Amino acid sequence: MSQKVLLNAKEVNIILHRLACQLIEKHNDFSNTVLIGLQPRGIFLANRIAKILKNDYKVKNIQLGFLDITFFRDDFRRSDKPLEANSTHINFLVENKTIVFIDDVLYTGRSIRAALTAIQSFGRPSEIELLTLIDRRFSRHLPIQPDYRGRQVDVINDEKVKVNWVENDGEDSVYLINK
């Protein structure tokens, strides 16, 4: 197994600030926008973006939630490993809001499809956007594309993209792992 650094801590930081700025450009004061991090790995990115918006760009009233999509996935009983559920924390209404889904890696698009179904349990949003740190090009199974992307990478199917976060993995970095 070999691995290669795609992004180091400094590069991740620059990208996070750029993504935050792009969000501000589109959503102004976030009065009608909510951020939803997708469990399990999207929550770190969502937390980080929300923190940058609050601390560095002084955006007040950021509404942040976490959505678990386990029970909405289309590979129940098809994958070898049992599907592990995580908790959902959405303590606001999404009715008529603009939602920004946040996930670390966009790969086949199936997680996002599940998230699009799962969020319907919380109301009818007016619009849904997608923000991902890494966009794996050429590997989509569904017609889903991000609205905000950190870095687009060309990765073959045997390779894995691993995103690390300081708070969970000890460092901010993105690795390309060759299995």
Partner 1 sequence: MSELSVNHLLGIKYLNKQDIQLIFETADHFKEVINRPIKKVPSLRDITIANLFFENSTRTRLSFELAEKRLSADVINFSSAQSSVKKGETLIDTVNNILSMKVDMVVMRHPNPGAGVFLSKHVKASILNAGDGAHEHPTQALLDSYSIREKYGEVKGKNIVIVGDILHSRVALSNIFALQLQGANVMVCGPKTLIPKYIDKLGVKVELDLRKALNWCDVANMLRVQNERMDISYFPTTREYTQQYGVNKEFLDSLDKEITIMHPGPINRGVEITSDVADSKQSIILEQVQNGVAIRMAVIYLLASKIKH
Task: List interacting residues with partner 1 (CB under 8 A).
Answer: 68, 70-73, 76-78, 82-88, 117-118, 120-123
Element (H, E) at 173: strand 173-178
User: In angstroms, what is the minimal distance from the CB of 63 to partner 1?
Assistant: 17
Q: Which is nearer to partner 1, 60 or 77 (CB)?
A: 77
User: In angstroms, what is the minimal distance from the CB of 121 to partner 1?
Assistant: 4
User: In angstroms, what is the minimal distance from the CB of 47 to partner 1?
Assistant: 20
- 3-state class (DSSP) for residue 105: strand
User: In angstroms, what is the minimal distance from the CB of 77 to partner 1?
Assistant: 6
Q: Which is nearer to partner 1, 39 or 173 (CB)?
A: 39
Q: Rounded CA gap, 45 and 132, in Å? A: 9
Q: Which is nearer to partner 1, 78 or 179 (CB)?
A: 78
Q: Rounded CA gap, 39 and 46, in Å? A: 10
Q: Which is nearer to partner 1, 87 or 152 (CB)?
A: 87
Q: Rounded CA gap, 14 and 133, in Å? A: 12
Contacts of 130 (CB under 8 A, 6+ apart): 100, 101, 103, 106, 112, 144, 145, 146, 147, 148
